[in-house]
Amino acid sequence: MAREIPDLVELLAPLEGACARLGELWHPDDPAAAAELARQTLASFSYSYFAYFHATPEHPDWAPLWNPVYTLQPNPDDIYWQSPIRGDLRYRVAGNRGTCRILSFTTQRFLSGTVDELPRDNGHREVDDADLELALGEEFEVLFAAERPRGWRGRYAPIDPQAGGMMVRARMYDWEREVDPVLTIECLDPVPPKPRPDAAEILRRIGEMAHFPARKTGLYFAMQNGIRERVGYNVFEPVRYVGALAKQVYWPACFQLAPGEALVIESDLPRRCRYWNIQVNDPYFNAVEYVYRFASLNGAQAHLASDGRLYAVVALEDPGVPNWLDPGGFTEGTLYGRWYDADEAPTPKIHRVPLGEVRDLLPPDTPRVTPRCGRPPCGAGCAPPSDGGAGEPGGEAPNWQVGKIV
């Protein structure tokens, strides 16, 4: 009797669900949009193998989530890992805290992209290094469990009984000097050996992989389209997202500009803020290339003006001023800013102007940035400032983020 061979093309048919979302894009008739969506679909599909074949709640292990390869959504300052878990089991997370700005742990009911529905505030818990009192470079271990065991005196973080996954963010501020954390995760409860999946289970997981890209695009296209529908272009809309970091206020905007134009962003800063940044996303909600382009900016990298405010410029061409955000050739997309653990959440403003009028909106003593000062040492006598700024007022300032390395 001949064995039935599974039809892989048929199994992967749900991949078309992601490409079918072309109509949700801002310019669905643009051939470039169709190509970008196909590329994004395959990127999500390649990631989904980690989600469905790498680890189990009983045998957890960190898998890459978002990073410079998987760019659908990520904060460029963060490297993300995740692992499946179960709310009725206990887990030890141990290792070295490193010296990154923030190390945070989020437990939630579903791992990203594994369900059709939008995130809800169920099964969600989070702690960061400040909550756990982890010192820079410290060797540590934390028990994650629904209840603290009687007599347990070590570090403990609660998880919801509904929890199905844990996500880690290693958030960098000073990319050149901070050190990544090194982490392990293990289940402390007795479990049987990790089973080999049978044929039916393998095919089921492949089917889930095929649905994964449409789930991801459905979530993020809805987010960016919602911003445009509510406030239009070039207006920031502060928001806290259900299921996202509770300490974080986001300030997204849909941006639009033309060649020869610039968007000047100006903002007050919170008096106390543990972390802030702003990034450029393309119109498909991917982070614009940020390893080799100046497409993101954080509080350690930014030059603050003499009036204590932030001025950043989105432009297709180098505007010759500090805090240039390069949209990578895109004239539309989204801007995402974050205030983390701040005492207030100012809402920045965006001014759309001709490129030649950028300096009219900046303080008179704003430094000039030239390509020869793009990477130290440049021979012009510049030195990286200790406060994360750029150069002296009225002088020539280097753009430290050009060519930054993750």
The pLDDT tens digits for 192-241 are 999 999 999 999 999 999 999 999 999 999 999 999 999 999 999 999 98
Place 120 in a pLDDT band, splitting at 50, 70 and 90: low
Structure confidence by residue, pLDDT tens digits, 286-303: 999 999 999 999 999 999
Q: What is the mean pLDDT of residues 13-38?
A: 95
In words, the CATH class of domain 232-373 is mainly beta
**pLDDT (0 to 100) of residue 395:** 42
Given a contact cutoff of 8 angstroms between Cβ atoms, the answer to whether 338 and 250 are in contact is yes
Tell me how many degrees the CA angle 218-106-283 measures, rounded to the nearest 5.
Answer: 30
pLDDT of residue 306: 95
pTM for the structure as a whole: 0.90
For 225, residues 6+ apart whose C-beta sits below 8 A from its C-beta are 24
Q: How confident is the model at residue 2 (pLDDT cuts 50, 70, 90)?
A: low
**Selection from 305, 255, 246, 308 nearest residue 278 by Cα:** 255
pLDDT of 118 over the 80 cut: no
Domain positions in the chain are 57-187, 232-373
pLDDT digits (tens, 9 = 90+) for 30-69: 999 999 999 999 999 999 999 999 999 999 999 999 999 9
- Is the pLDDT at 164 greater than 80? The verdict is yes
